[in-house]
Structure 1
Amino acid sequence: MGSYSPTLRSSYDFIICGGGTAGCVVAGRLAEDKNASILLIEAGPHNKDLENTHMVGGWSQNFDKETDWNIVAEKGSGIDGRQVKLSRGKFLGGSSGCNGTLAIRGSKQDYDDWGMPGWSGEEFFNYMKKAESFQNKPWFEASKDSHGYKGHLGIEPYDLAPISDLLIESMVSKGLPLDHDMFSHGNNPHGCGHAPRTHTDGLRTTGADFVTKKNARNNIEILTDAHVDKAIIENDNGSLRATGVRAVLADGTVVEVKADKEVIISGGAYCSPNILNRSGIGAKDELEKHGITTLVDLPGVGKNLMDHLIVFMFYETEKAGLTTDHLAYHGDALAKSYQLWKDEKKGFLSTFPFGAFAYARLDDRLADSEIWKSAPREEGRDPMGLTPKQPNIEFFTTECYGGPKQYADFPVDNKHTFSMIAELFGPRSRGSVSLPGKDPKTPPVVDTGYLTDPLGLDLEVLAEACRLGNEIVMEGKGTKDIVKGSWPADLTHHTYSTREDWKPYVKKHATTCYHASGTCAMGKASDPMSVVDEKLAVRGVKGLRVADCSIMPILHGGHTQMPAYGIGEKAADLIKEAWA
């Protein structure tokens, strides 16, 4: 092994496969035991010299290159045959180094609904809190007990641009009361507030911070630019046990390293299923297509893919000074913003230009919907499976123009834009992740399944969400008098009034919120589609766990960054407990 890395040993106590958000947390926490030896394997480069993972505003510059997994979904029948780019961070820290920095935990009921011992909302909120080091600002009315103050993840409130103050005024006037820290305490399904962000002092904080900087430890070896091929699984007195990992280095060299205690797979919802597949764990008929011997027939591997669909609605205003477009798109503004960040770690590029946020219940607005009224429901829950404690949708806004790659019609020439974004919670549609072949460097095959639920509930609710979001902008007290129209000008969504008006727009414009989850779902032994148990142990194999958002059996109503940290924290405690 020494010829491949100056310090790579033949064995470690724990090998973590994937240096993304959760994987870094697991490695960092296990390394708190000075006697433990840890190998953390990451497919991409180290993040130390990747400026766009530290400068918050540089997020999009990590995509469409070697720092992106470059996954493109299969054509989606529910979204007019479109293919959606599913960018994921491929470097140490993973998608925590290129996400929207949003620390939105969801509702406690979301995790209660998992029905798994040790994973209640109260317990899991505490794990998300454990990761956090919250830094308040004088204007922010924090729910102090909802935050952690000793973790490695720096979080702070975000100072809004003027357009966002106006949008909050509009939200309140349309029946969404202001509750400053509602996205941290998780007890309010209908209101507007501020979303704290994972950056402090002008720098993004990421999962990598758990294993670098002040948390660098000499009992962690970080092996970058190495794709995990498989967990090595051997017969151990009649039982299967994970005994090591096979990985492929950048020059094509194959290395095998022994795990004396455990292998932890943390490749994320798209990559973890394929690592299990290549290890001989998955649906037998699918593995046989690739000539892989099935060691454990687990049909749930790669199934149950969930994501939050979002729809952007952009608007133009002629009133200067409200949005932040002038700091990025007008003249040489971007160069000046970049220099300000380089010199002082301040300004437009020190933050992510999301603005005001809200949760909403839509019961009353969907009361006239035949699809909604006729859909089956459990007692005390709506057709999406949500209780009155859980929002149906989230609204978030941008303070300038911008989004995924297709949003490239930038407002130059002193134009000013902002957006309202509707996000669907409780999606009924499910997708899948499958193996493209045996090469670990080949991105997985992803069918997102967007808007394919047979009852049409996802489309119905998301169209209603867009309708309400548009009303907030066009009729709300703060914004009704400042909107010129839709942006780009050839869109006319600002004039839509009915749910049916919105449905074609949703099918044409709905895209990912990058909240993939569920493909190695946690569940009870009686559930044939469960992949891991409540200890995150892979069924049928000793010494093998999965720790990332793929284990989420039901997608929560929030953003996946904080759950990823919580899963990492919880996994580390479970592993420590097992080896105490």
Structure 2
Amino acid sequence: MAPARIADDEVYDYIVAGGGTSGCVVAGRLAENPNVSVLIIEAGPDSADLESVQMVGGWINNVDTETDWRLTTVSMPGVGGRKINAYRGRFLGGSSGMNGTLCIRGTKQDYDDWGLDGWSGEEVFRYMAKAETFHGKSWFNAKKDSHGYTGPLHTEPHDLAPISMKVMESYEDLGMPFHDDMFTTGEASHGCGHAPRTVHQGVRTTGADFVTKTYRRDNITIRTECVVDKVLLESVDGDLLAVGVDMVAKDGTRSTARVRKEVIVSGGSYCSPTILMRSGIGHKSELEKIGIECKVNLPGVGKNLSDHLIAFMFYEVKEPGLTSDHFVYHGDSFKSTYALWKEKHEGFLSTFPFGAFAYARLDERLATVPLWQNAPREEGRDPMGLAPHQPNIEFFHTECYGGPKHYADFPIDDKHTFAMCPELFSPRSRGTVSLQSSDPLELPVIDHNYLSDPLDMLVLTEACRFANEIVMTGKGTRDIVKGSWPADLTHHKHTSREDWTEYVKEHAGTCYHPAGTCKMGKPYDGLAVLDEQLNVRGVRGLRVADVSVMPTLNMGHTQMPAYAIGEKAADLIKAADAALSKTS
């Protein structure tokens, strides 16, 4: 029996399809005009009462539950035929409620490289600052002009555990100079420093804060536990116009909402392309294979999928008290740790246990490698397409044992561990997101095609070698490491690229930065889904606003760009509305 359908009697000025990081920003900023009405539709529940969202250290409790999309890739040859979980937040605020809270913005050159009007590094960095209210600490030498102080997103520096000071010392010893706030300025490509976090007073701050708390407005309707099936399109005066959306509630009830002005799709890099495809926007032959009438033939929908890959490399340390393991794994310590957060929003669970961060160039380390030497490159760029002032890799480390759920060899019995995590920037490999069917409740097919390009494997392998050298030879850590964790791994002894290549195939995983599946681009770009104004090509009144619009990834993390894209989208929509009002 077909699900019941309620009357199509809802009409709004704007409909935001997706209540994740960017979608909440768009809705919140549009609603600053009290004369417009905004509907935001989120597939998961409200996050206000989700302790695992508010408590930063509780993020793992969101995984593999109803608050996670529970997405998994297909098996991929580049990572030894493994399938990799693609955790994404399925609640108001989206992945900003279960990520690592890191404000690592990349370099300004990353955005300049897009070559799109209105999206220069200077402009994108201003939008990142607009979203933020930064709270400094006495020990942190902030670049004050690079931060924002009036946005709904509250950020602050992270108080490092003792192991982080040791790792920072090793970073510097291996040639990466210290710059306190280097991940905010967008100007550094080689060095180490502190990464501010989307945490304040022991509580996570998320995209949901743009439409809730002190920013809750009467002209916003928030509909949770409701999946957007498709955008409704009609032919008006010879043009295809977005006129509303079709939705499916948790109980299976279908309904539609109509729109006066615009629909903004903000489902993220996995769900935004699938909403477009179910609407009849995508590669014509692929849509017709699953029985969807193609209304706009845009072959780039769901293509150009890219992500940052990382590898966790755990080490056991000799000295107690350096890592944070004793707060959670030793005896019944978790009980008091949890009580401290519940009572005062303090302690281990009040923040994310990532420590010190670094950027590095690999030019000298790869200079004699034939693959690197002989690879084609543009003038002034390396084989990965990067300029000398863009980093090839990032290093970060954990302050205790932990990571995705398969890391389950907890260091009980007074043992102490941490992981070094090299991260690959500027991946050349590209993947796809596609539909299994037209059913909006069926999960998409995700193929990241990880490490299919040999240069990606080379750079990540070298990053692992370098990371191990930092730990094993850097003066801050070399005397405290006991060996690999768990003991049956021997990565601390690896020296050859061949050894590290095998390690990468077996252990590399996503950094949860999927992007690019509804990319912006010039008219001559055959894979460009959007123009520079975020308009879907061939449709009026329809935009996409989330990190799926990024033509290429930034050399950082995608949280702050997601906020910037939401801020920029809202300004573009307001400007278009103002221009239309003047002419009508």
Same fold judged by TM-score > 0.5?
A: yes
Q: Which residue of 1 aligns with 2:137?
A: 137
- SS at the partner of 2:363? coil
Q: Which residue of 2 aligns with 1:351?
A: 351
Q: Which residue of 1 aligns with 2:78?
A: 78
Identical-pair percentage: 64
Q: Which residue of 1 aligns with 2:517?
A: 519
Q: Which residue of 1 aligns with 2:442?
A: 442
- SS at the partner of 2:357? strand
- SS at the partner of 2:101? coil
Once the two structures are superposed, the pairs formed by residues 367-516 of structure 1 within 5 Å of their partners are 367-453=367-453, 456-516=454-514
1:220 and 2:235 correspond: no
Q: Distance in 2 between matches of 1:213 and 1:70?
A: 28
Q: Which residue of 2 aligns with 1:258?
A: 258
Q: Which residue of 2 aligns with 1:35?
A: 35
Letter in 2 for 1:253: T
List gaps (5 residues or longer) in structure 2.
579-584
Following TM superposition, by how much is the alpha carbon of 1:500 offset from its aligned partner in structure 2, in angstroms?
2.1
Once the two structures are superposed, the pairs formed by residues 142-157 of structure 1 within 5 Å of their partners are 142-157=142-157
Change in 2 beyond 3 A, CA 1:52/1:430:
same
- SS at the partner of 2:311? strand
Tell whether the 8 Å contact from 2:6 to 2:253 is kept in structure 1 after alignment: no
| 4+ aligned runs moved over 6 Å, structure 1 | 3-6
- SS at the partner of 2:261? strand
TM-score when normalising by structure 1:
0.98
Q: Distance in 2 between matches of 1:140 and 1:417?
A: 26
Following TM superposition, by how much is the alpha carbon of 1:251 offset from its aligned partner in structure 2, in angstroms?
1.1
Q: Which residue of 2 aligns with 1:242?
A: 242
Q: Which residue of 2 aligns with 1:558?
A: 556
Q: Distance in 1 between matches of 2:176 and 2:9?
A: 57
1:533 and 2:531 correspond: yes
Q: Which residue of 2 aligns with 1:208?
A: 208
Letter in 2 for 1:520: C
- SS at the partner of 1:222? strand
Q: Which residue of 1 aligns with 2:23?
A: 23
Following TM superposition, by how much is the alpha carbon of 1:49 offset from its aligned partner in structure 2, in angstroms?
1.2
Q: Which residue of 2 aligns with 1:366?
A: 366
1:287 and 2:273 correspond: no
- SS at the partner of 1:484? strand
Tell whether the 8 Å contact from 2:6 to 2:254 is kept in structure 1 after alignment: no
Q: Distance in 1 between matches of 2:250 and 2:323?
A: 44
1:96 and 2:109 correspond: no
List gaps (5 residues or longer) in structure 1.
none
Following TM superposition, by how much is the alpha carbon of 1:498 offset from its aligned partner in structure 2, in angstroms?
2.1
Root-mean-square deviation (Å): 1.1
Q: In the TM superposition, what whole-angstrom CA distance separates every residue of 1:366-418 from its partner, at most 9, and x where no partner exists?
A: 01211100100000000000000100000000000011111111101110000
Letter in 2 for 1:576: K
Q: Distance in 1 between matches of 2:529 and 2:434?
A: 15
Q: In the TM superposition, what whole-angstrom CA distance separates every residue of 1:497-516 from its partner, at most 9, and x where no partner exists?
A: 12222100011100000000
Letter in 2 for 1:528: G
- SS at the partner of 1:189? coil
Following TM superposition, by how much is the alpha carbon of 1:5 offset from its aligned partner in structure 2, in angstroms?
9.8
Q: Which residue of 2 aligns with 1:330?
A: 330
- SS at the partner of 1:233? strand
Letter in 2 for 1:272: S
Q: Compare 497-506 and 478-487 and name the one that shifted more.
A: 497-506
Q: Distance in 1 between matches of 2:541 and 2:183?
A: 36
Tell whether the 8 Å contact from 2:5 to 2:254 is kept in structure 1 after alignment: no
Q: In the TM superposition, what whole-angstrom CA distance separates every residue of 1:420-447 from its partner, at most 9, and x where no partner exists?
A: 1000001010010001111111111100
Following TM superposition, by how much is the alpha carbon of 1:472 offset from its aligned partner in structure 2, in angstroms?
0.5
- SS at the partner of 1:364? helix
Number of residue-to-residue matches in the alignment: 575
Q: Distance in 2 between matches of 1:375 and 1:334?
A: 51
Letter in 1 for 2:367: A
